[in-house]
């Protein structure tokens, strides 16, 4: 446990709210001073990262299944909601991913600010997003979790609606309505949990204890049918955020129309709020209901894997293809969660981290290609290796990581998820999940198909006639600064996956054991 009293009391609060403080300072600076706004935004994100590094350095990696740096203070007494923060092995890699991606997005924006520019508003929205994402990963109270979960909604709506492409208004409204509908069901489920557990607390750890041992808290046992219904509301809220098939339809439009860093943040972190919610909230509190829902979650996951891959093969726009690949890749994450085993849950969290790095990198590349070629129409691109060889090689490296090449992070996001379905958790049908395993394995073949097809069409050959005489710039210094940490991590995690697994295993084993004990496994 932490030996630093200041970090224990204030570390997580500082980490979460420093970006918001930076946004408040930027409100006082005239919007014409673009360079100062960029510097302030980068400074705020780096200060949050610095506090995060101090917290990670003081984190007890021998007790990753225990909440650490806990802050539990009075907040909204009238509904028994508390300012309850804490992190464990599940939260650490996702917080680290967030603290990495946001500063890199700000660096990338240094000379890639989308029209209609306005660095002040653009960067303030990113910092508010930063606070919302970090807060979601540290919140241990359902109302606090919901507040942070919803904070990210409006900034992303405006990023897409103001700085997006031609269809930005349609995409932003669709994103907003889908996620708002899911959130409405989610808050109803949270309120239902509160009342069936005695109406005394919204604390996630205590709710799990109360429903597992109702007699010990002087409340009635919650009927399984009620648990299944409550889980269904959370399934909709989190499933839309992931997004799972068939709730995915907002994602390709949002990704396609969003500015580059908006797509990067959406792919790298925002989608993970949904999968994180399943593992943090739904499984520990309602393990019996999770067993009832798991076959359906697994079925939707494998449908999403195949559907997303086939949709990729039909795309003509590079960015839209990458967007549909997220539907397929997040299917592997949800398949790992559906197994309800420690192996599957570890695979799922690894999939979150790997997808965040790899697909975030692909969206960075798509943005840079669009800036240079003024199009993402695949048939109009070609010969990137001739015109911008360094960018072509980076695209090839990232595409290989995305298709799951061994030695790169994408492999550890897909292969263990498939393998985990061979022996699912107690109460689940082995035969059914082995069918899911075969279908998911076929999905990896399709992934290789659409990614190699994309790379061949865009990077190989000679430039098309309209770009033959154009001088296409290769990777610039801000792009190298933004991309290098992600490329290094993709390789490092691929070679040594224990960078993630050794942090997550303790907590995820505890979650799997809670589910198994609830069904007598």
C-alpha to C-alpha distance for 253 and 260, rounded to whole angstroms: 13
Tokens of 13: 């609060």
Per-residue confidence (pLDDT) for residue 431, from 0 to 100: 92
Per-residue confidence (pLDDT) for residue 310, from 0 to 100: 92
Per-residue confidence (pLDDT) for residue 219, from 0 to 100: 80
C-alpha to C-alpha distance for 437 and 419, rounded to whole angstroms: 7
How would residue 243 be classed by pLDDT, with cut points 50, 70 and 90?
confident
Q: Is the pLDDT of residue 521 over 70?
A: no
Per-residue confidence (pLDDT) for residue 166, from 0 to 100: 84
Q: Is the pLDDT of residue 1 over 60?
A: no
C-alpha to C-alpha distance for 521 and 511, rounded to whole angstroms: 13
How would residue 46 be classed by pLDDT, with cut points 50, 70 and 90?
very high
Please answer whether residues 140 and 85 qualify as being in contact, where contact means their C-beta atoms are separated by less than 8 angstroms: yes
Q: Is the pLDDT of residue 220 over 80?
A: no
Average pLDDT, the chain: 90
Q: Residue 335 contacts by C-beta under 8 Å, 6 or more apart in sequence?
A: 298, 301, 302, 305, 344, 348, 417, 418, 420, 421, 436, 440
Give the DSSP H or E segment for 133: helix 119-138
Whole-prediction pTM value? 0.93
Q: How many CB atoms lie within 10 A of CB 197?
A: 22
Tokens of 481: 């600064």
Q: Count Cβ atoms within 10 A of the Cβ of residue 469 and give its class: 0-12 exposed, 13-18 middle, 19 or more buried.
A: exposed
Please answer whether residues 503 and 426 qualify as being in contact, where contact means their C-beta atoms are separated by less than 8 angstroms: no
Phi first, then psi: give them for residue 71, nearest 5 degrees.
-130, 115
Please answer whether residues 422 and 414 qualify as being in contact, where contact means their C-beta atoms are separated by less than 8 angstroms: no
Q: State mean pLDDT over 229-245.
A: 90
Using one digit for the tens of pLDDT, what is the confidence trace for 287-321?
999 999 999 999 999 999 999 999 999 888 899 99
Q: State mean pLDDT over 30-37.
A: 88
Q: Is the pLDDT of residue 349 over 90?
A: yes
Q: How many CB atoms lie within 10 A of CB 221?
A: 12
Q: Is the pLDDT of residue 247 over 90?
A: no
Per-residue confidence (pLDDT) for residue 245, from 0 to 100: 85
């Amino acid at each position: 446990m932490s030996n630093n009293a200041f970090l224990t009391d204030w570390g997580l609060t500082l980490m979460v709210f420093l970006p918001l403080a930076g946004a408040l300072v930027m409100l006082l600076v005239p919007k014409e001073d673009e360079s100062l706004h960029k510097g302030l935004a980068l400074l705020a994100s780096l200060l949050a990262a610095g506090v995060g590094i101090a917290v990670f350095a003081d984190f007890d990696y021998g007790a990753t299944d225990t909440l650490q740096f806990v802050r539990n203070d009075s907040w909204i007494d009238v509904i028994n909601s508390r300012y309850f923060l804490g992190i464990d092995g599940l939260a650490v890699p996702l917080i680290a991913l967030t603290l990495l991606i946001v500063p890199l997005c700000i660096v990338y924006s240094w000379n890639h600010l989308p029209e209609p520019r306005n660095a002040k508003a653009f960067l303030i929205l990113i910092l508010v997003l930063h606070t919302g994402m970090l807060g979601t990963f540290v919140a241990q109270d359902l109302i606090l979790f919901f507040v942070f979960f919803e904070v990210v909604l409006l900034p992303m709506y405006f990023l897409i609606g103001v700085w997006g492409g031609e269809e930005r208004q349609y995409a932003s409204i669709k994103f907003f309505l889908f996620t708002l509908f899911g959130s409405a069901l989610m808050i109803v489920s949270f309120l239902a949990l509160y009342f069936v557990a005695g109406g005394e607390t919204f604390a996630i750890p205590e709710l799990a204890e109360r429903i597992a041992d109702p007699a010990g808290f002087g409340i009635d046992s919650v009927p399984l049918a009620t648990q299944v219904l409550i889980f269904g509301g959370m399934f909709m809220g989190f499933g839309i955020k992931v997004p799972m098939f068939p709730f995915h339809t907002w994602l390709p439009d949002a990704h396609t129309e969003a500015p580059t860093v908006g797509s990067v943040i959406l792919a790298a972190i925002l989608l993970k709020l949904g999968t994180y919610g399943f593992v943090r909230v739904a499984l520990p509190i309602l393990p019996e209901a999770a067993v009832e829902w798991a076959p359906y979650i697994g079925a939707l996951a494998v449908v999403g894997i195949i559907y997303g891959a086939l949709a990729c093969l039909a795309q003509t726009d590079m960015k839209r293809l990458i967007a549909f690949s997220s539907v397929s890749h997040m299917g592997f994450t949800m398949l790992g969660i559906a197994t309800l085993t420690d192996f599957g849950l570890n695979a799922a969290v690894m999939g979150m981290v790997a997808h965040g790095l790899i697909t975030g990198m692909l969206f960075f590349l798509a943005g840079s290609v669009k800036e240079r070629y003024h199009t993402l129409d695949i048939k109009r691109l070609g010969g990137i290796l001739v015109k911008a060889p360094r960018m072509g090689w980076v695209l090839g490296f990232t595409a290989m990581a995305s298709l799951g090449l061994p030695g790169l992070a994408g492999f550890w996001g897909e292969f263990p998820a498939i393998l985990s379905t061979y022996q699912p958790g107690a109460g689940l049908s082995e035969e059914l999940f082995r069918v899911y395993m075969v279908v998911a394995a076929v999905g990896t073949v399709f992934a290789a198909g659409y990614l190699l097809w994309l790379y061949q069409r865009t990077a190989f050959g000679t430039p098309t006639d309209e770009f033959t005489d154009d001088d296409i710039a290769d990777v610039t210094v801000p792009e190298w600064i933004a991309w290098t940490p992600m490329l290094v991590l993709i390789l490092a995690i691929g070679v040594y996956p224990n960078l993630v697994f050794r942090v997550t295993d303790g907590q995820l084993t505890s979650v799997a054991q809670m589910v198994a004990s609830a069904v007598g496994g």
